[in-house]
Structure 1
Amino acid sequence: MYHNLTHAQKRIWITDRIYHKSPMHNIGGCLKITGHVDWNKMVHAVNDVIQFNDSLRIRLIEIDGEPYQYIHDYSTSVIEFLDFSGHENAHETFEKWVEEFFRSPFELEDKELFQFVIYKLSEVESGLVLKIHHIISDGWSVALIQKQIFEKYNNSNRLKPALELSYIDYIKKERKYLESIRFLKDQQFWSNKLEHLPETSLYKNLSNLECNRMLHSLDELTSQKINSLIKELGISLNIFFITAFLIYLHKTLGENDIIIGTPVLNRGDYEDKQTIGMYVSTMPLRVGIEDKQSIFDFIKIIVREIKRCYIHQKYPYDLLIKDLQLVSKGYDSLFKYNLNYYNTRFFDESGELQIEAEEYTSRQQNLSLQLTINQWNENKILLGMDYKIEEYKQSDIKLVYQHLETIWKQMLYDPQMKIKDIKLLSKEEIINRIYTLNQNTRNYPQDKTIIQHFEEQVEKEPNKEALINNDTSLTYSEVNQRANQLARFLISKGVEKGDIVSIYAYHSYELVIAILGILKAGAAYLPIDPDYPHERINFMLQDSKSRTILTNISLSNNISFDGEIIDLLNQSIYTLGKSNLSITNSPEDVVYIIYTSGSTGMPKGVIIEHRNLLNYILWARNTYVGDNEAFALYSSIAFDLTVTTIFTPLVSGSRMIIYKQDEQEFILYRILEDNKATIVKLTPSHLSLIKNMNNRNSSVKKFIVGGENLKVTIANEVDKSFDGNIEIFNERVNL
């Protein structure tokens, strides 16, 4: 007789079809046995369990494109025996074998979906390995199988059912539930709960499922402290670690609305809890978190939310994805992160045998990061972290664990602590970051200016391309010569050391040459964006006492200025001597003035000295610049971040590609389309506009980010869009 798949099974079936031949759904583990085992008796016990549980004999078939299941007749299973005792390093050989064993996928259609293997390491070390497909089992079921096998092994008459248990009964229960009023109430609950989803929590699985696992065993004292606290607060170990993990995500992502996944047993009565089969469901947990809350208050919120969600846990997760139309929005999961608490302890009273249970995985998963919490006894808590290798390095996961550990230590120290006061970094890490990693003392020439460093670069590579504008370019020598000619012209017009010369110009060769020419004349420059309101421009000109404007466009009639206006496009200003001028500036002189936005009042002019600029630019050169780099000059000259794009390439021998603003196309899109630049300086807001593009073949290899707070989620999404081939340097770091 054929039966429909449950919704949980159907989701596994569909995923298995998408990732064909993937071992992702292999689950199970190993019972490591110390002592002398009667293996004939053990084989009989295993076969009795197979016969007793119809779900182990489920077979799947496809009829007219629809999957069905049926119970295969029982026949004695031949259990494979592997003897590793003759190997030089039996344990290592076994571990390699079991890893490959779990990476071998099942044939899903009309085949046996479990496999038992007996192994031997020595006369007193042996064990039983179970690999089973998730579509017919879950973690709770694996523990039931292990328990039943040893009940039968120790007492051949013990395995007698108090009632007939069949997974088919659960299939019928689910069908009845889907036609019930409770189903409609559950649907409405989740519809309300998941309205206006936070996009940062949603996830689109990548094609690469490969993952690694990192295990951390908490020391006995910490385990005791945690158990003591959860007993005092009246919460579970699961709630404790959910709290720590949500605080971690809040601190690292900067989000107040977070969704994580948590598996639920979905076994509503005694019969379900005693039946082997695929019951487990995935439940999204959406929690709001605020800095002003105390840890204890936040725990109470989590407990309340979990209790509310548990009431409605039967609603199938695959229907939830469908209801929310996630696939049409480009996602396939409500969350990136999952926390799985194993509260099943293996039945280990097996006569003279000592038994230790160990879980194995296929090292494949469809989520970004999964935390598993195991507590096999009162004083041993094991934290596992399964992470996608495409998204995390091992060093990243070590850091995640360190931060989680720092958080739960503070939770243990003071449950009344405010969330805003919780630190991610330990005292040792803070000291390391501030006084070691953040050590910024560097020796750089104290008696030189930025112009001298530029001229040294000109002397080193005079014929190298410096500026590129569309299909034309200027070499370092050509740029330097024109800057020298302009400097001499400015001096002839009365520009002196210490004067403020304004630049009112759009991006062009002349803009860069104007900056260099002003500095070579001994003056400082004031960058003015021609798109600024005329009131702001007039204020800047008046406040700075600028007497000269260099421009490559006509000044607006609304600009009030009675000083010298010099047209940068007039070739007659480039007729004087081409050789370098004598340096008149010192490192303490002003190099430029930049005005604040004036959002809190009138704009304020900020004076930058040569030594300040040189300190930053030489640091940027050493930090960002590699061989054959090309910087994209596109942002307003009145933005402080543009300084990086102008001066860093000029002192490092890199190219500067000049982009003019185009109202018809977002300029950053054009830079990416051109595929010429390798380094782009931008803000996090810019990154958010390109995170959903396919940037896998981009020439851009480095982003220098500043001006705003950069969220980890945005950085991760951009990194994925570049297929990991991008470096993101965050110049605004809040320690």
Structure 2
Amino acid sequence: MNTSDPFGALATVTESGIWFTERLGGLGTVYSMPFAITFDGPLDETALAGAIRQVVARNPVLAAAFVERDGLPVRVPAAVPPLLTTVDLQADPDHAEAIERAEIERPFDLARGPLLRCTLLRLAPRRARLLVVAHHIVFDGHSTSVFVDDLAAAYAGDALPPLDAAATPRDQRLAALLPGARRFWARHHTGATDVVLPGLRGVPGTAGPGEAVTFDLDDRLWSAIRSTGRRLGHSPFVITLAGWLLLLRRYGNKTPMIGVDLGTRSPAEFPHIGAHVNELPVALAAHRGETFRDFTTRLVAEFGLRSGADGLYRYREVPLSRAVGTVRPAVALAPVTLGYRRREAAAKFSGLDTVVDWALPNHTSRGALRIHVVEGPEQQRVTLQFDPGVISRPDVERIASHWRELIRAVADHPDEAWNSLPFAGREQALTQAGRATSSGPRTTLPELLAEQIARTPEATAVEDRGASLSYAQLGAAIDALAQRLHGAGIGTGSVVALLARRGVDALVAQLAVLRCGAAYLPLDPDHPAARNTRILADARPDLVLTSHDGQTALPAVDAPVLLWDSASPAAGGFAPGRPPHPGECAYVLYTSGSTGQPKGVQVEHRSLANLLLDFRDRLGSGPGHRWLALTALTFDIAALELYLPLISGGTVVIVPPEAARDGQQIARLAADHRVTHVQATPSGWQLMLDGGLALDGVTALTGGEALTEPLAQRLAGRAGRLLNVYGPTETTIWSTAAELPDAGPGAIGTPIADTTVHVLDEWGDPVPPGLLGELWIGGVGLARGYLGRPGLTADRFRPDPFGPPGARLYRTGDLARQRGDGVLEFAGRRDEQIKLRGHRIELGEIETRLLEHPQVARAAVVSVGEAGEQRLVAYAVPAGPPPSPAVLREHLAGTLPAIMVPGVIELIDALPLNTSGKVDRVALRARPVDAARPDAPAPHGDLPTAAGPVREIQQIWSDVLGTTAIDIHDDLFDLGGHSLTVAQISARIRARLGVDLPLHVMYDKATIAGMAEAVVGESQRRSA
């Protein structure tokens, strides 16, 4: 800093970075740095005002403002110098907090100043409080201590000596350090900018409104931090930083990154006030089994956290955007940032007792979590700033508790594996996982049905195509076919393939197979013959049972075939040797395999009975309940809508297969048959609601796909009762259930009877409530395994480390989080979570944001292209007049980071569905994507509508960058551009083209083509 001539010079690198990010807009008071001094005693206000003037005179930067000249910030005198303002609150001291908050939240004007405000609040005759608010461009954490010490000295009457300039000008130091910094960051910069925190909702913005959680470390913990540091040879800062990195790792961040504020003062600059700080990222993955001692040693070694080492400390003056071309300046380089400051005891003010509040909250947030740590002589104070719009106060308080517990554990056990130490949330997660207290029901579906037939023989059991069967008639039909099957050698342990479309005959066939003690394997005649052939070859059934309508689709099969129609009752009925045992297989259902080969899931009777009995109690099922059966028999959820009414005295109303994809036909049939219960996937519900389905008094179950909030609201507003249910085929249909809307958005509820549901990290450890993990399910509902696939069964069904001996868990591949109240929230498939240019992206989040647009009825987003060349494509079904893709893109850009906005948005009439009624994402990914559509990026070359601006902007880039080898689609930052480059280009575009593009627009459109498009758009907007 040139203290003899502080004005008229270009801003420093740090000041320029702050100036640039401030001009991006939307930052509020994120750069305001408030602190306060409370005085008790006879305060001399005149002496205090004089002392402030002395401190400002000694540090002229406090009297500065910053204006733009040729796109660059220049330091100039403020329009008004900093002065002391007094507010007398002796008559109303309780009003002080409101005045403080208003003063802290009052924005600064960088171009006019002043950038330091001092307000004295007179609270009582002998009590006053000085509130100081400075803009970060002229102040940093260390400046607070310097300001207080200098103010105390000047108040005592001491003359403050002039400051010495640094021995080496800062620009010379930067030039010397830059080559080494580039080599260092080439090895250590990960580029990752996402984070996982408990309860974090969505993607945090760079800055926003904020709240704070503040706590002091107790004496025992602060002593443990210092003693552990001495024992391991590290400072309390390293112990603190390592603790936060390990906590983020425990939360599921594979390579956690924290943006760390590092002071950049040279020894001669320690007495200076100003912005002498640089935020740099520290990203380090903790290995499983690594001790805290080893982790801290590796942290210090890899990032050079010792004076003189080749690393952060040596290169702390070099902004990351100068060392790494692809990094763009921002208010926070990482979602979690840490500012750590040491201070000695505050200087004494002559004749006064003083208390200094070193870091008051400025009511803003930076990224997801901003950690302020002030290390004093006796204690450590921690403040966590956060945006309540993306994370709640209870979640932040839980994070604070987790950090304290982790620090305590590693301090007590520095030579034990960090991941084996006790961790808050583990016991709570296990307690909320549910309980599997038995081996399941001792009954089976055939026994439950027989009991119901005996209770209500004359009641209507099934209605299909205008005909109906009573319970007695249904029982007789089952016995007749069971007798034929028995005569064909079918019995306990047999597998019978059933090739039939949904209808009363197929229902009778399934129940007849179960009556014999065998397991049925449903096949759909409308599926490709090749698929059915593969399944039959894999399953090798003992018999294939088919009807006349299925016979035409019967593939070649190496098994006996039995053709049947509706059978006549057999004389005397059918008497099996014994009823099936609960541990025997009830059905085999084939699901898609990741290798392309379907796999057969074997579900036992006890698992099916457990589900049916739970939902009978949960729904209060009984006579008068009429269930719509509209699901394909090859989709496991069909079993609930077929069997639950039959064990409860209700009626099954079968939807003919040809009507199942016509929402209007389903709606008419439901109304004509006075249906009371309907189960469908969200895609199916959308179809039926669009077809006019009335839901007055109807109990609605939805599952099989993620339920969007707009659809949930639509259903909850119409249905008498709404349940969102979840479960894979391997855990018998549904494993959890949530009552909506009470359970909240995204809720899939809590486990059903005798079921456990764990949310685990990649190492199989429970994650704390609020964190994302993979769902593992245990209990009675678990399938036996995959037919003929012992290796696959062993891989997906693992020993349960939390249960009794012999217990198992099924790995679902689904992501979820468990709330503090135990309710689970679904978060999509693990394989629908993609990495795009280093960013972890949930496709479901993009779909949710699309559905928030009033002109979008349905939406799906897929990733297309090979690894490294992936791009996002969104498909939207309009609700009413179709919106343009540009409108939808603008809508998404307002709520999502640019990386998550699909490059192509296509409007289609309907989303393709598979036979299970779910969105067919394979079909969407196979659709051709037209790169020449208006919403796709322009091809290389000139842009016809922006030819003039393209040429002008090409020339501007050449002038600023000093090269002509530039393509109009080259990224400015890839060419070595940085914040000041952008500012210079912005100023020259304004001068040559008369268009003032906001810096955030240039930041998002950092190509010549993008800037030209923005210039044309702005010109058209102004002339409209």
Structure 1-normalised TM-score?
A: 0.72
Q: Is the 8 A contact 1:261 1:284 kept in 2?
A: yes
Q: Trace 1:1-400 onto structure 2 (pairs within 5 A).
A: 2-20=8-26, 22-63=28-69, 65-72=71-78, 77-87=82-92, 90-91=93-94, 93-154=95-156, 156-161=157-162, 163-165=163-165, 173-178=169-174, 180-194=175-189, 197=192, 205-206=204-205, 209-253=208-252, 255=254, 257-267=255-265, 269-307=266-304, 308-319=311-322, 323-324=325-326, 334-345=333-344, 347-358=346-357, 359-378=359-378, 380-400=379-399
The residue that corresponds to 2:679 in the other structure is 655
Deviation of 1:17 (Å) = 2.8
Which sections of structure 1, spanning at least 5 residues, go unmatched?
468-472, 567-571, 661-667, 684-698, 727-735
Q: Is the 8 A contact 1:501 1:548 kept in 2?
A: no
The residue that corresponds to 1:710 in the other structure is 815
Whole-angstrom distance in 2 between the partners of 1:319 and 1:512: 73
Judged with a 3 Å threshold, the aligned counterparts in structure 2 of structure 1 residues 23 and 430 are, in CA distance, closer, same or farther, namely closer
Whole-angstrom distance in 1 between the partners of 2:295 and 2:637: 43
User: SS at the partner of 2:284?
Assistant: strand
Q: Trace 1:626-645 onto structure 2 (pairs within 5 A).
A: 643=636
Alignment-mate amino acid for residue 348 of structure 2? E
Whole-angstrom distance in 2 between the partners of 1:68 and 1:492: 95
Judged with a 3 Å threshold, the aligned counterparts in structure 2 of structure 1 residues 659 and 129 are, in CA distance, closer, same or farther, namely closer
- 1:593-641 alpha-carbon deviations (Å, 9 max, x no partner): 46899999x999875444433435676899999xxx999989x95xxxx
Deviation of 1:114 (Å) = 1.6
- 1:148-201 alpha-carbon deviations (Å, 9 max, x no partner): 1112112x124223x445xxx79x9343345x2431221232123225758668
Judged with a 3 Å threshold, the aligned counterparts in structure 2 of structure 1 residues 370 and 606 are, in CA distance, closer, same or farther, namely same
Q: Trace 1:691-702 onto structure 2 (pairs within 5 A).
A: 701-702=746-747
Q: Is the 8 A contact 1:295 1:411 kept in 2?
A: yes
Whole-angstrom distance in 2 between the partners of 1:533 and 1:369: 53
Deviation of 1:277 (Å) = 1.1
Whole-angstrom distance in 2 between the partners of 1:66 and 1:372: 31
Deviation of 1:305 (Å) = 2.4
Deviation of 1:515 (Å) = 6.6
Q: Is the 8 A contact 2:303 2:312 kept in 1?
A: yes
Q: Is the 8 A contact 2:446 2:514 kept in 1?
A: no
Alignment-mate amino acid for residue 84 of structure 2? I
User: SS at the partner of 1:31?
Assistant: strand
Deviation of 1:670 (Å) = 12
The residue that corresponds to 2:660 in the other structure is none
- 1:336-392 alpha-carbon deviations (Å, 9 max, x no partner): 2122212134523334433222222222123111222222223x2222222222221
Moved more, 545-554 or 18-27: 545-554
User: SS at the partner of 1:288?
Assistant: coil
- 1:119-149 alpha-carbon deviations (Å, 9 max, x no partner): 1333343221111111221111122112211
Judged with a 3 Å threshold, the aligned counterparts in structure 2 of structure 1 residues 57 and 513 are, in CA distance, closer, same or farther, namely farther
Residues 1:510 and 2:502 are matched in the alignment: yes
Whole-angstrom distance in 2 between the partners of 1:294 and 1:145: 41
Q: Is the 8 A contact 2:441 2:582 kept in 1?
A: no
Deviation of 1:723 (Å) = 6.1
- 1:558-586 alpha-carbon deviations (Å, 9 max, x no partner): 643223367xxxxx65999xxxx999888
Alignment-mate amino acid for residue 148 of structure 1? D
Q: Is the 8 A contact 2:104 2:362 kept in 1?
A: yes
Structure 1 vs Structure 2 CA RMSD? 5.4
Alignment-mate amino acid for residue 386 of structure 1? Q
Q: Is the 8 A contact 2:280 2:333 kept in 1?
A: no
Moved more, 332-341 or 51-60: 332-341
Whole-angstrom distance in 2 between the partners of 1:573 and 1:120: 94
Q: Trace 1:434-453 onto structure 2 (pairs within 5 A).
A: 434-435=430-431, 438-439=434-435, 449=445
Alignment-mate amino acid for residue 612 of structure 1? S
Whole-angstrom distance in 1 between the partners of 2:374 and 2:438: 48
- 1:238-294 alpha-carbon deviations (Å, 9 max, x no partner): 111222222222222151x23221111111x12222211112111111213211211
Alignment-mate amino acid for residue 647 of structure 1? L
Q: Is the 8 A contact 1:649 1:656 kept in 2?
A: no
Judged with a 3 Å threshold, the aligned counterparts in structure 2 of structure 1 residues 42 and 674 are, in CA distance, closer, same or farther, namely closer
Judged with a 3 Å threshold, the aligned counterparts in structure 2 of structure 1 residues 589 and 264 are, in CA distance, closer, same or farther, namely same
Judged with a 3 Å threshold, the aligned counterparts in structure 2 of structure 1 residues 519 and 27 are, in CA distance, closer, same or farther, namely farther
Judged with a 3 Å threshold, the aligned counterparts in structure 2 of structure 1 residues 147 and 26 are, in CA distance, closer, same or farther, namely same
The count of residues paired between Structure 1 and Structure 2 equals 651
Judged with a 3 Å threshold, the aligned counterparts in structure 2 of structure 1 residues 556 and 238 are, in CA distance, closer, same or farther, namely farther
Whole-angstrom distance in 1 between the partners of 2:376 and 2:643: 62
Alignment-mate amino acid for residue 343 of structure 1? R
The residue that corresponds to 1:591 in the other structure is 586
Judged with a 3 Å threshold, the aligned counterparts in structure 2 of structure 1 residues 311 and 207 are, in CA distance, closer, same or farther, namely closer
Moved more, 348-357 or 366-375: 348-357
Deviation of 1:227 (Å) = 1.6
Whole-angstrom distance in 2 between the partners of 1:451 and 1:143: 80
Q: Is the 8 A contact 1:216 1:383 kept in 2?
A: yes
Whole-angstrom distance in 1 between the partners of 2:388 and 2:104: 18
Q: Is the 8 A contact 2:90 2:124 kept in 1?
A: yes
Alignment-mate amino acid for residue 813 of structure 2? E
Q: Is the 8 A contact 1:261 1:337 kept in 2?
A: yes
Alignment-mate amino acid for residue 559 of structure 2? F
Which sections of structure 2, spanning at least 5 residues, go unmatched?
1-6, 305-310, 621-626, 645-675, 685-703, 716-723, 729-743, 750-774, 777-811, 818-826, 834-839, 853-1024
Judged with a 3 Å threshold, the aligned counterparts in structure 2 of structure 1 residues 396 and 335 are, in CA distance, closer, same or farther, namely same
Whole-angstrom distance in 2 between the partners of 1:183 and 1:555: 72
Whole-angstrom distance in 2 between the partners of 1:501 and 1:94: 80
Deviation of 1:549 (Å) = 6.1
Whole-angstrom distance in 2 between the partners of 1:194 and 1:621: 56
Deviation of 1:441 (Å) = 6.2
Whole-angstrom distance in 1 between the partners of 2:545 and 2:203: 55
